[in-house]
Amino acid sequence: MPLADARAICPELATRPADLPREAAALASLRRWAGRYAPMVASEGADGLIADISGVPHLFGGEEDLRADLQARLDRAGLAAVSAIAGTRGAASALARHGGGIVPDGALVQGIGRLPVAALRIDHATAEALARVGLARIADLAGLPRAPLARRFGPGLVLRLDQALGAQAEPVAAEPEPPHFGVRMTLPEPIGLQADVMAGLARLLDRLCTKLALHHKGARRLRLELRRVDSGTAEVEIGLARPMRDPARIAALFARGVDEIDAGFGIDALRLTAPVTEPMAPEQTGGATIRHEDALADLLSSVGNRIGFDRVLRLLPADSLIPERSFLLAPAAYSAPAAPPPRSGPPRPMTLFPPEPVSHASGHPPATFRWRRMRFATLRATGPERIAPEWWFDDPAWRSGLRDYWRIETQEGPRLWLFHTPQDPGWCVQGEFA
Average pLDDT on 33-48 reads 90
Res 288 pLDDT > 70: no
* Residue 210 near residue 183, CB atoms below 8 Å: no
Helix (H, G, I), strand (E, B) or coil at 263: coil
Average pLDDT on 389-410 reads 89
Based on the fold, state whether residues 197 and 223 are members of the same structural domain. Answer: yes
What pLDDT, on a 0 to 100 scale, did the predictor assign at position 207? 96
40 is a domain residue = yes
Res 86 pLDDT > 70: yes
Based on the fold, state whether residues 161 and 186 are members of the same structural domain. Answer: no
Q: Classify burial at 297, counting beta carbons within 10 Å of its beta carbon; exposed 0-12, middle 13-18, buried 19 or more.
A: buried
Per-residue pLDDT band at 178 (split at 50, 70, 90): confident
CATH code for the domain in which residue 247 is found: 3.30.1490.100
Based on the fold, state whether residues 189 and 157 are members of the same structural domain. Answer: no
**CB neighbours (10 Å) of residue 90?**
26
Res 299 pLDDT > 60: yes
**CB neighbours (10 Å) of residue 246?**
19
Based on the fold, state whether residues 395 and 270 are members of the same structural domain. Answer: no
Q: Classify burial at 95, counting beta carbons within 10 Å of its beta carbon; exposed 0-12, middle 13-18, buried 19 or more.
A: buried
Torsion on CA atoms 29, 31, 37, 39, rounded to nearest 10: -120
What pLDDT, on a 0 to 100 scale, did the predictor assign at position 294? 81
315 is a domain residue = no
259 is a domain residue = yes
Based on the fold, state whether residues 149 and 191 are members of the same structural domain. Answer: no
What pLDDT, on a 0 to 100 scale, did the predictor assign at position 218? 94
Print the domain residue range for 43: 22-165
Per-residue pLDDT band at 290 (split at 50, 70, 90): low
Res 292 pLDDT > 80: no
* Residue 209 near residue 77, CB atoms below 8 Å: no
Residue where a domain stops, chosen among 130, 165, 200: 165
Based on the fold, state whether residues 301 and 202 are members of the same structural domain. Answer: yes
| CA dist., res. 376 & res. 410, Å (int) | 6
Based on the fold, state whether residues 269 and 374 are members of the same structural domain. Answer: no
What pLDDT, on a 0 to 100 scale, did the predictor assign at position 395? 83
Structural domains in the chain (count): 3
**CB neighbours (10 Å) of residue 36?**
12
| CA dist., res. 355 & res. 370, Å (int) | 14
Strand partners for 328: 316
160 is a domain residue = yes
Res 183 pLDDT > 80: yes
What pLDDT, on a 0 to 100 scale, did the predictor assign at position 13? 93
| CA dist., res. 184 & res. 262, Å (int) | 20
What pLDDT, on a 0 to 100 scale, did the predictor assign at position 391? 85
What is the share, in percent, of the chain residues with pLDDT greater than 90?
A: 68
Of the listed ranges 64-73, 196-205, 279-288, 336-345, the least confidently predicted one is 279-288
Average pLDDT on 44-66 reads 92
Per-residue pLDDT band at 153 (split at 50, 70, 90): very high
CATH code for the domain in which residue 142 is found: 1.10.150.20
9 is a domain residue = no
Name the nearest CA neighbour of 322 among 433, 419, 416.
419
267 is a domain residue = yes
Per-residue pLDDT band at 130 (split at 50, 70, 90): very high
What pLDDT, on a 0 to 100 scale, did the predictor assign at position 289? 60
Query: Which sign does the torsion angle of CA 360, 363, 368, 371 carry?
Result: positive
What pLDDT, on a 0 to 100 scale, did the predictor assign at position 125? 92
What pLDDT, on a 0 to 100 scale, did the predictor assign at position 339? 83
Name the nearest CA neighbour of 405 among 415, 422, 418.
418
- CA dist 10 to 13, 17, 194, Å? 5, 18, 66
Based on the fold, state whether residues 41 and 152 are members of the same structural domain. Answer: yes
> pLDDT tens digits for 203-257?
999 999 999 999 999 999 999 999 999 889 999 999 999 999 999 999 999 999 9
What is the share, in percent, of the chain residues with pLDDT greater than 70?
A: 98
Based on the fold, state whether residues 249 and 129 are members of the same structural domain. Answer: no
What pLDDT, on a 0 to 100 scale, did the predictor assign at position 287? 56
241 is a domain residue = yes
Based on the fold, state whether residues 361 and 294 are members of the same structural domain. Answer: no
pTM (predicted TM-score)? 0.60
* Residue 370 near residue 348, CB atoms below 8 Å: no
- CA dist 271 to 204, 219, 220, Å? 8, 15, 17
Chain-wide mean pLDDT for the chain?
A: 91
What pLDDT, on a 0 to 100 scale, did the predictor assign at position 286? 55
**CB neighbours (10 Å) of residue 53?**
20
Based on the fold, state whether residues 377 and 276 are members of the same structural domain. Answer: no
Residue where a domain stops, chosen among 108, 136, 165: 165
Based on the fold, state whether residues 39 and 150 are members of the same structural domain. Answer: yes
